[in-house]
Amino acid sequence: MKLAILSRSPGAYSTARLKSAALERGHECRVLNTLRFAIDLSGEEPDMQFRGKQLSDYDAVLPRIGASVTYFGTAVVRQFEQMDVYTPNTANGIANSRDKLRATQILSRHEIGMPATTFVRDKADVLSAIDLVGGAPVVIKLLEGTQGIGVILAPDKKVAEAIIETLQSTKQNVLIQQFIAESKGRDIRALVVGDRVVGAMRRTAQGDEFRSNVHRGGSVEAVELDAEYERTAVRAAQIMGLRVAGVDMLEGNDGPLVMEVNSSPGLEGIERATGLDIAGAIIDHIDNQVAFPELDVRQRLTVSTGYGVAELHIPEGSKFVGQTIDDSGLRELDITILTLHRDRSVIPNPKTTRALQADDRLTCFGKLEEMRGMIPTRRKRRDKVRKLPKEVLEANSEA
Ligand SMILES: Nc1ncnc2c1ncn2[C@@H]1O[C@H](COP(=O)(O)OP(=O)(O)O)[C@@H](O)[C@H]1O
Ligand SMILES: [Mg+2]
């Protein structure tokens, strides 16, 4: 294949390793400076120029977009998507993972463990927001920080309030997060490629520092992840729309707590710690997937007027319970079932001989008018299950 690595630093360890892994495998590979593209919407089809010349044909692109160029960088990746060039990480995925609040919001409905988090704007709401995540000590984070910069541990509420006020007065948005003390300055970085973890390491902060980032002096060691950590990392990356990702997890008392999902994970620490050829695994994955450029299913499927994608719910007592898909008559109504969600598993292209059960959710494509009556009333909010330990909740409720 012919691969373009989008990067501004051809000499950096990760870029150099990816390029040599591609060349070793007999691929053609160029490192292209993300900022030298011109997005060209002047012709009949989406196109791009590079350094003032028409871009040649590429089979795949591997974006390594730095935080300082997210807007332009994701625009370039989006343009490759429009041109049907395969990318393991979509523009949307990169943008979503870049913003810690946005990432937490997207992950929050998928039963993935995360530290309790809040986000407020008005000064008057800061103290109750701190209580909501369990009180001090509390972690304060800039939405777009990296390498541990912009992550602060505030020992008490007064200090937390002062820090938040100061940051907000300089127009910086911050989120407020429960401090996971039991993680003790350690965290897990899992490198996800496709639908598996290809390498993992534990990072341990230096001295009394609580941030374990390698850039903050953290040390690394290889770890063998247990199944729960592995599944959590893969799901988090997939939900974010990333096929190459570094998922950071704290080791909470009740299992993994995802802090962030990085779309351009550094390879140096993890390759040194594990001795594994992570760059090679990334290149092999891209080579395998090249035939399947990312497409926005909704956009493609809803171009016919009156047709669309909807999620249908089979409630307890519905006439569909116990019927096979064949017997349900959905096909006669021009409704095709794309996936069936049952408990936590997803069954793609379910066989028509499969029987439906109460509480199944069906992602369907079909005539919107026919599906309207089968769309569930808006999901009720469940009784809140708080993430905080009982002692903390009790102390809070007395305040
Ligand atoms: N809620 C938390 N509780 C305990 N430690 C945390 C928490 N959030 C972050 N940390 C520590 O700070 C480090 C940096 O936080 P992270 O959210 O990953 O920001 P960055 O994008 O700057 O790496 C983490 O690797 C972890 O060691
Ligand atoms: Mg991090």
Going by pLDDT thresholds of 50, 70 and 90, the confidence category of residue 228 is very high
Model confidence at 398, pLDDT cuts 50, 70, 90, reads low
C-beta separation of 239 from 83 below 8 A = no
| Separation between Cα atoms, residue 237 and residue 197, nearest integer Å | 10
Question: What's the average model confidence in pLDDT over 25-45?
Answer: 97
Mean pLDDT, residues 113-141 taken together:
94
Q: Residue 97: nearest ligand to its CA?
A: 1
Q: How far is the CA of 122 from the centre of ligand 2 (A)?
A: 27
Q: How far is the CA of 69 from the centre of ligand 1 (A)?
A: 22
User: Which pLDDT does position 396 carry in this prediction?
Assistant: 65
User: Sorting pLDDT into bands at 50, 70 and 90, what band is 8?
Assistant: very high
What separation in Å is there between the alpha carbon of 147 and the centre of ligand 1? 9
Extract the tokens encoding 72.
Answer: 């332009």
CB 102 within 8 A of CB 145: no
What is the rounded end-to-end Cα distance, in angstroms, of the chain?
62
Counted domains in the chain: 3
141: nearest Cα among 113, 106, 102: 102
DSSP lists the bridge partners of residue 63 as: 6
357 or 383, which is more confident: 357
The per-residue pLDDT for 175 is 95
98-124: average pLDDT: 94
Residue 327 pLDDT level (bands cut at 50, 70, 90)? very high
Cis peptide before 155 (omega within 30 of 0): no
Residues 306 and 342 in one domain: yes
Determine if the peptide bond prior to 137 is cis (ω within 30°).
Answer: yes
**For the chain, what percent of residues have pLDDT higher than 90?**
76
Domain that holds residue 307: 297-372
Q: What is the CATH number of the domain that holds 62?
A: 3.40.50.20
Residue 104 has pLDDT above 60, yes or no: yes
Which residues have their alpha-adjacent CB atom under 5 A from ion ligand 2?
Answer: 248
Is residue 378 assigned to a domain? no
> Which one of the ligands is nearest to 258 CA?
1
Q: What is the pLDDT of residue 105?
A: 96
pLDDT per position as a tens digit, 359-387: 999 999 998 888 887 776 666 677 777 77
Predicted local distance difference test score (pLDDT) of residue 379: 64
State whether 59 and 137 are in the same domain.
no
The pLDDT, as a whole number, for residue 390 is 73
Contact 154, 123 (CB under 8 A): no
Q: Is the residue at 249 inside a domain? A: no
Ligand 1 atom nearest to 185, measured from its CA: 27
pLDDT of residue 141: 94
**Is 367 within a domain?**
yes
| Ligand 1: nearest atom to the Cα of 150 | 22
One domain for residues 62 and 128: no
Residue at a domain's end among 140, 158, 179: 179
Q: Domain containing 355 — which CATH number?
A: 3.30.70.1450
Whether 339 shows a pLDDT value over 60: the answer reads yes
Q: How would residue 75 be classed by pLDDT, with cut points 50, 70 and 90? A: very high
CATH number reported for the structural domain that contains residue 137 in this entry: 3.30.1490.20
165-175: per-residue pLDDT in tens? 999 888 888 99
Distance CA 277, CA 275 (A): 7
* Among protein residues, the one whose CA lies closest to atom 17 of ligand 1: 259
Q: What pLDDT is attached to residue 183?
A: 92
- Ligand whose nearest atom lies closest to the CA of 149: 1
pLDDT of residue 161 exceeding 90: yes
User: How would residue 214 be classed by pLDDT, with cut points 50, 70 and 90?
Assistant: confident
pLDDT at residue number 374: 78
Q: Which of 259, 260, 261 to mutate to test the pocket of ligand 1 (most atoms within 8 A of CB)?
A: 259
Task: Determine which residue's CA is closest to atom 26 belonging to ligand 1.
Answer: 211
Distance from Cα 254 to the centre of ligand 1, integer Å: 18
Segment 322-346 shows an average pLDDT of: 92
Query: Going by CA atoms, what residue is nearest to atom 1 of ligand 1?
Result: 179
Identify the pLDDT of residue 300: 75
What SS3 class is residue 381?
Answer: coil
Which residues fall within 8 angstroms of residue 111, CB to CB, at 6 or more apart?
Answer: 344
Helix%, strand%, coil% for the chain, nearest 5? 35, 25, 40
- The answer to whether residue 284 is domain-embedded is no
Q: How many helices (H) and strands (E) does the chain have?
A: 13, 19
Residues with a CB atom less than 6 Å from ligand 1: 115, 139, 141, 145-149, 151, 177-180, 183, 187, 210-213, 248, 250, 259-260
| Residue 150 Ramachandran class (φ > 0 left, ψ -120 to 50 alpha, else beta) | left
Q: What is the pLDDT of residue 101?
A: 95
Q: Which atom of ligand 1 is nearest to the CA of 177?
A: 1
Pairing relation of β-strands 53-54 and 138-142?
unpaired
pLDDT band at 126 (very low <50, low <70, confident <90, very high): very high
pLDDT tens-digit readout, 247-294:
999 999 999 999 999 999 999 999 999 999 999 999 999 999 998 776
Mean pLDDT of the chain: 92
pLDDT computed for residue 294 by the predictor: 67
Q: Looking at the CA of 142, name the nearest ligand.
A: 1
Q: Specify the pLDDT at position 305.
A: 85
Residue 82 covered by a domain: yes
Task: Determine the distance separating the centroid of ligand 1 and the alpha carbon of 217, expressed in angstroms.
Answer: 14
Residue 164 lies in a domain: yes
